[in-house]
Amino acid sequence: MSDSHSSSETVATLKLLLIGSSGTGKSSLLMRFVDGVFLAPDEISATIGVDFKVKVIDVEGKKYKLTIWDTAGQERFRTLTSSYYRGAQGVILVYDVSNRDSFNDLQTWFNELDTYCSSKEVVRMIVGNKVDKESSREVSKQEGQEFARKLQTLFVECSAKTKLGVQQAFDELVQQIIDTPSLWQKQAPSNVRLQPNTETQEYSGCAC
Amino acid sequence: MADMDADDFENFEFIDYTTSGPWEKFIIQIESCLKQWGLVHNSYGVFNPKRMPATDENMDLDQELALALHDNDERKANTTTATESADATVAKASPTSNKAGSSRSSGVVDSNASQVPSLSNVYQHDSTVTLDGVPYTLSYRYHPAKARIASGVERIDLDFLPTTLEGFEHHSLHRWTALTHILVLSPAPDSHSPIIDLGLAKLLQSSFAIAFQNTGCNIPVFVPTGQVRNGTYMGLSIQPQLSHARNSDLGLDEMAEDQAIEVRYNTLLVPYPPAQYTDLAGILELFIERMGIDDDYADMDDGDDDTSEGYSQQLKEQIFVSALFSYQLDNWYDEDWRQWADKGDDTVTKSRERLPDLPFGPVQDPLKSIHLVARFASAPSTVYLDSKNLTDMDASQANIWILKAIFKPDDYGLLSGILEDAVSSWNVEVKSLLGASKDQASEKGEGSYTSLLMKGARLIQGTIAMVDASDVENIVDDLCTTPSPSASITPYNDNTNAALQPTQRQRSHSQGTTDRVISAAELGLHFRRATTVPYNSFLWKMLRHLVDVISPNSHISYPTSFMGFTKAVWADLLMQFDVYWERKEMIPLIDIFGEAVDEYASDDDDGSGSLIKATFIDFRFNLMHQKLSMINCCISWELALRQDEQSSSPSPTTSTSSSADSAAEESSPELPKEQPSLKPTSVSGSAEPGDDAPMVATADDTKPSDSINRGSGAEVKHDALAESLGEMDINASATLPKSTTATPPPKDAVETKISHHSEGGLKPFKDLKLLATGAPMMVPKLQDQGYMTEDMIQDQEDLLENLGSSADAAKTRAELQSSQLISGKPPMLYMGAFKAANPGCTIGDFIRWHSPKDWDEKKAQMSARMADSGNFWQELWEKAEALPASKQKPLFDHYYQAEKALSYLKNQTGSQIFIQLLPSICLLAYDTLTSHPVSTVSPQATKALQELAQVLTDFPWDQLSATEKKLDLEPIIAKFKQAEQTVGRVVSLLRKFPEQFSLVERILKDSESVVEDGTERDCVLTVFSAAGFAKTVFPKPTCREFVMETFDPVSSPSSSFIGAPGPTFVTPDDLTGWDARPLQRRMYACFKDSEVRIVDAVAKDGMFM
């Protein structure tokens, strides 16, 4: 799908997805990465449905166009975004290191990702955001790492505010995608296990 | 004229070669060839078996033995081939004889071990030499038998080397002489004189004798004499003088004999031999005569025996005989060769009974003939009795049976033929559409079709298809009369069964060595994304019928083209779809009630813990299927609406908890009143609140045709939704009471406090009270977002994406998504429903319900981003009109969507339909193969199918387009052909040898196999005797081969059949200390086609020459 946008200069268009609970700073991360500015989640209006931003990056002399989809983290909107999982090559699961609930929610998000994502090869990354709030940290790096290990994903902590780790997170994700050509070159095999587009997870409230 | 050392030249001695004659030149050429191949100093040169893949590591005992043997042979060949090369094959099977062998062999192989490694797949090197202007081809030929034995690959009969090994046709001389390395000099193909007469042959041999002396080459050379077709050769090998050799392997140091040994080979071909030479007794005498063996024992025991023959028993005991009888059984015509006699396979076939079966495999029994080789192990000649009147040499007496199957080279496969035909009919269609019907490419493509049957069909197919209307009708009827719509669930169950079945069966038959063959249903999901249709779904069945049309087995009255028929059927089906929609009847076998979503629902903390069945469009399948699903979804939506209307009118407010949680068998009228607006959902499946849920879900699974189920399923959904709405906080069991209490409209409570009443509220939300009024916060009913097919989602995503990434675009996107302008869950409608349900509420209330994280309980205020004055949410809140979901404009217009789906289907051209269905056609063909029980019992078949599955999985189906000029399905069709042929062969062989899975497997793998004692042997015996005519159980052998050998002085040959399970005929052992070199005499005799071929080898010790 994203191929329809690939211009002549870009090698491929990669679709990335940001998911995670409300207020974890998905939009902030995106703005930091794409626009290089920071707005605290408090200042960015809660995303309605989905939004996306585009950034072209250079990897090993080749240009890749990233369309990064930002999704609403609020409980009531989840199924709206589920259809956008389609065709994503990379997914970033975001939690807030200063909010344990958002970390606990990861499993739910991960399940959803598993359910909707068309390819099992999709590169997954767990990002602990807001490490600048070290004082109010509720989730240790150790915990984050262990969780990522359990789910076999990439893991990084970063701060959209101080921009620590943001660029690296995206770079790493993109690199992994590029290293998995079957993901983005047309012939992507699909061990699809698409589940019904049910309403059932609509209210999948975090147990918070 | 021995060694020409380089040193000689340094002595300033001129040597004049200018006068050398043609003969000398010839010898020089030979020598240079030999050197080029490394055939110097007893080396095998380029064909050094030591360089063969065999490794010394991790050998087991047998291998070690074999290798030792082989070394021994090699060494012997090195040292003694001059005289004894013929016995290189009298491979000593026992270590004792090894010792014996080594005691007299002393060759050093190692010196040349590091020579050019030979390519394992090259068996012959050719070179041209010229004598007096006449060109000859000198070829060095290699037979890999020993190397293979050494590497433990298999057991090979070293006395009767197989003429075909490693897929290469080896020279017959290997078999006749049992030599693995030979040189053959024959007239070059372009030579004027293809026949070498005896005199010339001797001259040529003399040349080699000289060349051998000069080079130290110990490989025998053969020269054909007489008519080429007779294959008569004379041969010579010389083992030149050797210095020292060590038998390091066995730790024995032996001095080499100093004298050369010379072996001469002769061939004798006698057509219509005299009767006395047609049996063993006769040729044994001939052997003794020809070899000039003196009967030392003749005088010692005259009276004893040998009434007719003049030779003593003792002498005969010194002669060892081994024999090989070949029997051939031409396959008889068997109409039912496909018949599969395995019991219990009806369970597998049951699910497909009403559908036509596709044929596969070759048209006729692929088996051409069965060959049985009976091997009589080497034994003193007295052991075997085979004379004029009396013979006990019958296959049943043989130690070893080797069974071989020859298959017809038929390259036509029914199934792949069908596929080819389907594709070609599409190609024709596309071409005629493109106006380029006379494309040369197509002509070429069609040339490859072999079946006349198919050609008949193709003649008609052109652009106009002749179709019998009743055929079409029959198919459409069958598809559309498929009973209950809930049967749509069965296929899933069925195929899980089918998937299980093979595994179990396989376990029992094939010792668990094979991997499972993936079922067609499963494989469909491994195809490129969304390219197939579900197993046994409507389209699947349609395809089965359509493909059947072009199958040779078809009952269709007029053979026609696939495309032509498809279009005819499709046109009829389109009308049927319309009818279904008009009548609001579900299209059969289009499943919109998925499998229960259990795994995630349960470990999700949001999960209600119940099994949830949802109505949905399955994106795993192709768009045509999705569109049909859409139609069904719309129908079920409409049905749900109707039910609601019915139910709401008779019992508006009384539809209370009692009815709601009363079980599933209750019909729709019970639906609580709140449902109407919500109703359209039909999305969340059959979960009942609380305890009932699992029961209902299972009922849906297991009782597919229960007509109540659908209604109840629909009904149940609401509850599930209601439940999930309310279960924010707690798990399933807790929700039951909650939802029951929720259902009675809490009007009164609200009304008392508020002027205008709540509308469209479902139940209180937790224990929250509205900020302003203190009334319980009600969860509003919400509209369901309806369904989307994949293309719709794509369109929507494109729409959003095409707005661009500017801030304005982001704003537009937000607006689009907040109202019903775009499918989804527009917050404005939520707000409206919330407002309606909670009169007097504020945005803060909404936020507390909608996004609890944006609400700070302590401060009792919204988060900063929500509280922000310019906030988009606030803007929306202002705009949102209090409207219960029931009064809102429907988000999902099922009428429109159904029509849209129908028109999509109608607008597909035949060509587009074909492309969409092609992957499923292949899947169906795959299913035909895997459904056959043989796919699970034969590892060979399993492997072929697995390969096929891989090819199918890898094929870029998703990149096919309807305008494809030339669809290249060759690799796939070829793979199909291969797989179906393998399956066909297994079927055919198992038909002959019922239940002999292991034997059949071995035959298929190596083309021949030793028949093991016991049931295998019995089974083979039955086959041969059933077809045999003679009173002796076996038919007459087609070929009898004998090998007789003895040594002078008498020594110890033994069975060289390595690893043979049969009895080993023990040799007089302990020959160490023999001083004289035993010289081998060997004779090979082959009786076949009323002629006898005798090849003998006589070694003479140069010492005495």
Domains recognised in chain A with CATH numbers: 8-183 (3.40.50.300)
Angle formed by the axes of helices B562-583 and B910-931, nearest 10°: 100
pLDDT in tens, B783-827: 877 788 888 888 888 888 888 878 888 888 888 887 766 666 678
Locate tokens 């599969």: which residue?
B340
- The shortest CB-CB distance from A42 to any of B827, B865, B953 is to B865
pLDDT in tens, A164-208: 989 999 999 999 888 887 777 654 333 333 333 333 333 333 333
**pLDDT on residue B959:** 77
Q: How large is the ipTM?
A: 0.76
* pLDDT above 80 for A69: yes
Most distant CA atoms of chain B, gap in Å: 140
Report chain A residues whose CB lies below 8 A from the CB of B834: none
**Is B814–A205 a contact, with Cβ atoms under 8 angstroms apart?**
no
**Is A50–B813 a contact, with Cβ atoms under 8 angstroms apart?**
yes
Alpha helices per DSSP H over B787-909: 790-802, 807-818, 827-837, 843-850, 864-867, 872-879, 894-907
What residue type is assigned to position B491 of the chain? Answer: P
The number of CA neighbours under 13 Å toward the Cβ of B55 is: 2
Q: Which residues of B407-433 are buried (b: 16+ CB within 10 A; e: fewer)?
A: beebebbbbbbbbbbbbbbbbbbbbee
Task: Reduce the DSSP state of residue B638 to 3 states and report it.
Answer: helix
**Is A52–B805 a contact, with Cβ atoms under 8 angstroms apart?**
yes
Q: Where are the beta strands (DSSP E) in B946-1063?
A: 1008-1011, 1039-1048
How far apart are the CA of A141 and the nearest CA of chain B, in angstroms?
A: 23
Both structure tokens of B943: 């492997």
- Please answer whether residues B1056 and B90 qualify as being in contact, where contact means their C-beta atoms are separated by less than 8 angstroms: yes
How far apart are the CA of B596 and the nearest CA of chain A, in angstroms?
A: 9
Both structure tokens of B786: 């309806």
Both structure tokens of A100: 């344990």
Q: Could you tell me how many residues make up chain A?
A: 208
Q: How far apart are CA B1097 and CA B85, in angstroms?
A: 9
How far apart are the CA of A198 and the nearest CA of chain B, in angstroms?
A: 6
Locate tokens 């079957």: which residue?
A182
What residue type is assigned to position B224 of the chain? Answer: P
**pLDDT on residue B242:** 46
CA dihedral B439, B442, B444, B449 (to 10 degrees): -160
Question: Is A198 part of the contact surface with chain B (CB cutoff 8 Å)?
Answer: yes
Report chain A residues whose CB lies below 8 A from the CB of B528: 189-190
**Is B605–A207 a contact, with Cβ atoms under 8 angstroms apart?**
yes
The 3-class secondary structure across B467-517, one letter per residue, is: CCHHHHHHHHHHHHCCCCHHHHHHHHHHHHHHHHHHHHHHHHHCCCCCCCC
Question: Is A4 part of the contact surface with chain B (CB cutoff 8 Å)?
Answer: yes
Question: Is A136 part of the contact surface with chain B (CB cutoff 8 Å)?
Answer: no
**Is B600–A195 a contact, with Cβ atoms under 8 angstroms apart?**
yes
Q: How far apart are CA B996 and CA B510, in angstroms?
A: 11
Find the closest chain A residue to B817 by CA distance.
A49
Residue B177 contacts by C-beta under 8 Å, 6 or more apart in sequence? B86, B89, B220, B235, B265, B1082, B1084, B1095, B1097
Percent of chain B at pLDDT > 70 equals: 61
Locate tokens 């990354």: which residue?
A125
**Is A194–B619 a contact, with Cβ atoms under 8 angstroms apart?**
yes
How far apart are the CA of A2 and the nearest CA of chain B, in angstroms?
A: 9
Residue B309 or B993, more confident: B993
* pLDDT above 90 for A96: yes
CA B116 to chain centre: 37
Q: How far apart are CA B501 and CA B344, in angstroms?
A: 10
**Is A189–B528 a contact, with Cβ atoms under 8 angstroms apart?**
yes
**Is A46–B683 a contact, with Cβ atoms under 8 angstroms apart?**
no
For every residue of B651-683, DSSP letters joined together read STTT--HHHHHS-TTS-GGGS-TTHHHHGGG--
Q: How far apart are CA B196 and CA B185, in angstroms?
A: 10
Q: For B496-523, what is the mean pLDDT?
A: 53
Find the closest chain A residue to B952 by CA distance.
A189
Peptide bond before residue B1049 is cis, with ω within 30 degrees of 0: yes
- The shortest CB-CB distance from A46 to any of B681, B817, B866 is to B866
Nearest Cα to Cα of residue A111 among B685, B693, B597 = B597
Both structure tokens of B23: 């003969």
Both structure tokens of B951: 């090819």
* pLDDT above 80 for B102: no
Residue B324 contacts by C-beta under 8 Å, 6 or more apart in sequence? B157, B159, B160, B373, B374, B375, B376, B1040, B1041, B1042
Residues of A (29-88) whose Cβ lies below 8 Å from B: 41-54, 67, 74-77, 79-80, 83-84, 86
CA B896 to chain centre: 47
- Please answer whether residues A131 and A164 qualify as being in contact, where contact means their C-beta atoms are separated by less than 8 angstroms: yes
Report chain A residues whose CB lies below 8 A from the CB of B597: 195-196, 198, 200
Task: Reduce the DSSP state of residue A169 to 3 states and report it.
Answer: helix
∠ Cα B995 B998 B1002 (to 5°): 130
Q: Is B346 exposed, middle or buried (0-12, 13-18, 19+ CB in 10 A)?
A: exposed
Q: Where are the beta strands (DSSP E) in B307-389?
A: 320-330, 367-380
Q: For B208-230, what is the mean pLDDT?
A: 83
pLDDT in tens, B359-390: 887 777 888 888 888 888 888 877 787 776 66
* pLDDT above 70 for A136: yes
**Is A41–B865 a contact, with Cβ atoms under 8 angstroms apart?**
yes
**Is B605–A107 a contact, with Cβ atoms under 8 angstroms apart?**
yes
Q: Which of B525, B595, B600 to mutate to test the interface with A (most CBs of A within 10 A)?
A: B600
**Is A189–B954 a contact, with Cβ atoms under 8 angstroms apart?**
yes
**Is A190–B529 a contact, with Cβ atoms under 8 angstroms apart?**
yes
Q: How far apart are CA B597 and CA A116, in angstroms?
A: 13
- Please answer whether residues B367 and B985 qualify as being in contact, where contact means their C-beta atoms are separated by less than 8 angstroms: yes
**pLDDT on residue B291:** 74
Q: How far apart are CA B1035 and CA B153, in angstroms?
A: 32
Q: What is the pTM of this model?
A: 0.65
Q: For B578-594, what is the mean pLDDT?
A: 86
**What is the DSSP pairing of strand A154-157 with strand A123-129?**
parallel
Locate tokens 């499993």: which residue?
A107
- The shortest CB-CB distance from A76 to any of B729, B830, B959 is to B830
| Size of the A and B interface in Cβ pairs below 8 Å | 191
Q: Is B957 exposed, middle or buried (0-12, 13-18, 19+ CB in 10 A)?
A: buried
pLDDT in tens, B826-870: 788 888 888 888 888 888 888 888 887 788 877 778 877 777 767
Q: For B101-114, what is the mean pLDDT?
A: 33
Q: Which of B619, B700, B799 to mutate to test the interface with A (most CBs of A within 10 A)?
A: B619
Question: Is A185 part of the contact surface with chain B (CB cutoff 8 Å)?
Answer: no
pLDDT category at B7 given cuts 50, 70, 90 is low
pLDDT in tens, A173-184: 999 888 887 777
How far apart are the CA of B684 and the nearest CA of chain A, in angstroms?
A: 6
Domain spans in chain B, listed from the N-terminal domain onward:
22-272, 414-594+898-992, 599-894
* pLDDT above 70 for B671: no
**What is the DSSP pairing of strand A90-96 with strand A123-129?**
parallel
**Is B606–A51 a contact, with Cβ atoms under 8 angstroms apart?**
no
Question: Is A24 part of the contact surface with chain B (CB cutoff 8 Å)?
Answer: no
- The shortest CB-CB distance from B805 to any of A54, A107, A195 is to A54
How far apart are the CA of B534 and the nearest CA of chain A, in angstroms?
A: 13
**Is A192–B529 a contact, with Cβ atoms under 8 angstroms apart?**
yes
- The shortest CB-CB distance from A51 to any of B597, B810, B865 is to B810
pLDDT category at A100 given cuts 50, 70, 90 is very high
Nearest Cα to Cα of residue A197 among B111, B939, B616 = B616
**pLDDT on residue B247:** 38
Residue B716 contacts by C-beta under 8 Å, 6 or more apart in sequence? B664, B685, B686, B687, B688, B696
**pLDDT on residue B220:** 86
CA B686 to chain centre: 41
How far apart are the CA of B1057 and the nearest CA of chain A, in angstroms?
A: 51
Beta-bridge partners for A92: A18, A125
**Is A192–B600 a contact, with Cβ atoms under 8 angstroms apart?**
no
**What is the DSSP pairing of strand A123-129 with strand B1008-1011?**
unpaired
Q: B317-326, B587-596, B711-720: which has the highest mean pLDDT?
A: B317-326
